[in-house]
Chain A
């Protein structure tokens, strides 16, 4: 199907067809990334502003690289270097960027709903690169892309998300995405970070790792965000690792060919055993690579590019 949206705010409002359109486009771009000339002129002459008002390494790099591969001009604005620290509002910052004739804004922001708010203020496309604990749609798209490459279909597959679910935008976007693809999603971790209320989003909540991991087709680990949790959510990192960390014994409960995912940055030895992170089952670095193609697809589609045009690359 053709893509008709101007913005990518979240996974929740998208249909399965729309998710598949993005992933199909991403796989097209992935083939281009394997060529010796990795650049296409799809967005030549366009200016993309990465407005990153919260720290990020991976996502920022991936968006910059995706824009570069599409031949767009890309400018990144970081919170500490912006007028945000002088008290300028998001509305004023964004309107100024638009007045400079930017063609697209990629927003990373600590407040849930910030990307939606921005998309209602300005006419140029807005891509959500993470809004607080709400959504991180491109992460969920690259995760689905990676899962589909390994599992073929997600229909009826058991996929477990383990860790800090409460504060995680990656978890929310993945819950929306994986349930749309027909997967059986389990969320697991300590009760303080995985409240039962998540069941209202159509997933199973468990606090027992054996149940969470038994026969799972994939496990997605989430980083323990010690900067967000005020000491009250679990006793210590050591206790977390002993109760909920993924180690070799616990990984043996998964299906034999199950894959281990992590959106990064990983805390080695905390939520994941260091060897497991580097093992054959781990697809953590594939996720990063797929992240470029996925973001190229999103930038391309939201700036009005069509999939059919992509089928016959210009170069």
Chain B
């Protein structure tokens, strides 16, 4: 096989470079190049992308790969397959593993496992506090040296404001962003779904939006005070969008993400107690959903990220109260987002691709997200018009906890190319 490739006749969308045109994309020795010589062209592997979108490989800065320690749910290998099937070439994994990623050794393990088994680029995050327990700072400098791209106690939110303040000051010294899962624990004790008409009707313990908004506001104030970059994970409420909007008007160094499920679904989905709709933060109301879409449109929310959170069938197959929080996201992200944001809300495809490529990459300073000449050839070919049915038998994640089973979605990954090599094509992982 030649080390040159040409992807012909695609609609090339590269939002960072404001590029949206029909054309050919050239790859040589694993990198994007402006063009190829005549000889190289002759030998190049050709891929016809007529009618398809050719864009930078997608970037997801919020996935749970469950390794080390919870490999019955997912592994770095299977999680990378799921990512590739979803068009992602770069993913950032969360540190709520077992043990938690709060030492350089665990980070080294994750990087080694990724090198050995992952088909996409994997970047780890480290914990803010030791054991994600919220009371003692993790060795943030050593974590940075070991290779983390951000710190977060995702899944558990640091409750002590003093610890959070010191974490921000300390991490800023290393130019490390802090990603926060915004949840006031006292307001959400025993809570399993959004507090509102549906929690009242179903008799389930409610989780008020204020429990998220309070921490978003806290983080805004501490970011303003310290100058550190705080990234708010999976914003789910209209109140949080409003707080973020006002913070950004004051140029506070805060950013935020929305997930496809919070953009697509509401708490009404829980009416049959289906645990594949149980996640943290919970699905909220239609007004919240609309506020998230508005937030993306006006730039209040910076990006889309999945919070891909695998759990086995036997863990999810329980009474609603007892099932764990979280759903799969990698493989359905583009389709769900495309359907909700582009097809229904009329947002241009280029914007969605920006939210899934260079914008998340820039938040964490990752070398990804563009088709600049000279960068690694991480490229995704998408068919926004293709419809497909989400099917348990054709997914690559080790778990099956998706709310989209049986649904027809519009927007499909055709192939995923990492460093010039195809890792996903025609529904198959190529290793």
- Report if A and B associate in a common complex: yes
Q: A91 vs B202: C-alpha distance in the bound complex, in angstroms?
A: 21
Q: Is there contact, CB below 8 Å, between A198 and B200?
A: yes
Q: A57 vs B345: C-alpha distance in the bound complex, in angstroms?
A: 54
Q: Is there contact, CB below 8 Å, between A117 and B319?
A: yes
Inter-chain CB contacts under 8 Å: number: 58
Q: Does B321 belong to the interface (CB within 8 Å)? A: yes
Binary contact track B287-318/A, C-beta < 8 Å → 1, others 0: 00000000000000000000000000010011
Q: Is there contact, CB below 8 Å, between A112 and B317?
A: no
Nearest opposing residue in chain B for A167, CB measure = B203
Binary contact track B42-73/A, C-beta < 8 Å → 1, others 0: 00000000000000000000000000000000
Q: Is there contact, CB below 8 Å, between B319 and A109?
A: yes
B188 to chain A, nearest CB (A): 13
Give the segment of A132-140, A156-164, A177-185, A210-218 that binds chain B: A132-140
Q: A117 vs B314: C-alpha distance in the bound complex, in angstroms?
A: 14
A15 to chain B, nearest CB (A): 18
CB neighbours of B197 from chain A (8 A): 197, 200
Q: Is there contact, CB below 8 Å, between A201 and B200?
A: yes
Q: Does B322 belong to the interface (CB within 8 Å)? A: yes
Q: Does A150 belong to the interface (CB within 8 Å)? A: no
Q: Is there contact, CB below 8 Å, between A111 and B322?
A: yes
CB neighbours of B227 from chain A (8 A): none
Binary contact track A3-16/B, C-beta < 8 Å → 1, others 0: 00000000010000
Q: Does A131 belong to the interface (CB within 8 Å)? A: yes
List which B180-229 residues lie within 8 A (CB) of chain A: 189, 196-197, 200-205
Q: Does B320 belong to the interface (CB within 8 Å)? A: yes
Nearest opposing residue in chain B for A112, CB measure = B203
* A contact residues, total (Cβ < 8 Å): 26
B226 to chain A, nearest CB (A): 33
CB neighbours of A305 from chain B (8 A): none
From B205, B272, B318, B321, A116 is in contact (CB under 8 Å) with B272
Q: Is there contact, CB below 8 Å, between B201 and A132?
A: no
Q: Is there contact, CB below 8 Å, between B200 and A134?
A: no
Q: Is there contact, CB below 8 Å, between B202 and A134?
A: yes
Q: Is there contact, CB below 8 Å, between B202 and A112?
A: yes
Q: Is there contact, CB below 8 Å, between B203 and A135?
A: yes
- A residues touching B (Cβ–Cβ < 8 Å)? 12, 89-91, 109-114, 116-117, 131-135, 166, 169, 172, 195, 197-198, 200-201, 230
Additional 8 contacts, C-beta under 8 A, given A112-B321, A166-B200 = A12-B201, A89-B318, A112-B273, A117-B319, A132-B204, A133-B204, A197-B200, A198-B200
